[in-house]
Structure 1
């Protein structure tokens, strides 16, 4: 079966959305029924996804996946993105699931741009 780019893109979006939605529900089950720690789940998730992305990059795109570490500026940006950006977002999302539920955590996540915008409006008085 040969799919054109548009059809392949639509299918990938649908599968990605389904997997993302399922992950919140599975996380809620793991926290509430099996007693998993938020920290453990976030670290394992990020390590596995990082490894899979590096493997994909090595196989499909660029055999030299270590080039990012050759530039000090790029290395710092990557570490900040991972340590503050991805880790922060993942941890707060899963902590919200652990202390509440997946539906509430998802609503809070989608409201965060609105909350940030309101904060900036009040702070800058504009």
Structure 2
């Protein structure tokens, strides 16, 4: 039973970190935390970066714990799966947290690094009628 928990823990920790990261993102957008300046950054980005870094450090600790765990001579596949799951969770958290650092928050535009990108907003077909059906 503990081998199964170790196997699912890496991706489980990633799922918890991912959920927390994007739940706080939604709360921050809803409450306007991106307008609260903290030095050159805003409160929303600081909180999201702190959550992402904490999740990455926690997963890094788990990867090290799984790599240092004693090898089970009778069931080597289970130990290998636990290590692979831990590494996969860490890589997944690193990749899914990158938008926190690179993308704009809450305004519907994409990159924070390039002003004006991706250009003018294109309205969906039929949205210019103000909700009235065209006949």
User: TM-score with structure 1 length normalisation?
Assistant: 0.35
Greater Cα radius of gyration, structure 1 or 2: 2
